[in-house]
Structure 1
Amino acid sequence: MLWMDSVAVLKDAQNPEAAKTSMNSTMEPKTAAMISEVARHANGSSGSDAFMPEDMKTARGIVIPKELKAPGVFRSTCPPDVRQISRIWTDLQKRPTIHGDR
């Protein structure tokens, strides 16, 4: 099974440049390795292997065995019903709360 984590900047973000800077920082090899160490999962940042903890460099749950490295298959985008739920959730997050703190 393959999966990937994704991040995006919303088109109406208040500070898109700061968001992009944050995303780029997260993908730096040393930072990606530190996040992997805390979360105990792999990352997709090239060069991060050099900064990974020793126990994770050989962990079966992190390193894919050679016999299982055949090309995987990524699913296409989410089905329409899931995309609709995501749109509803995003819209709800933009609304002011009853306390008016947004």
Structure 2
Amino acid sequence: MNRFYAMLEASNPERGHQRAYRLEAGTDLFGEWLVDVTYGRIGAGGRTIRYLARDEAEARKLVQQSLKRRGTARKRIGVGYQIKELSDPAGWLPAFSPGAPRSDNQVYA
């Protein structure tokens, strides 16, 4: 996978929230578009779900929908996700205005 990678974390020790969320999107050796979503507790292996997309546009939409959902974490779990790692050589985030990461690395809806 080579088009998009993001690692997000939400941490609030007082509430026991230690969450990690990783998105990876790109093509496999056969040219099929894949989006992998891995989530779980920070430091644990987590659970991975793999989505097969028809094309790059659908893969981009899946990534943007996932990031938008992470942007609502503050309302849902009381702590927001922060971007810890980001690789976006194809420029997928600029097209994602609602919930785009701000300069303080927070993800908002």
Q: Same fold (TM over 0.5)?
A: no
Choose between structure 1 and 2: higher helix proportion: 1
Q: Which has the higher contact order (CA 8 A, sep 6+)?
A: 2
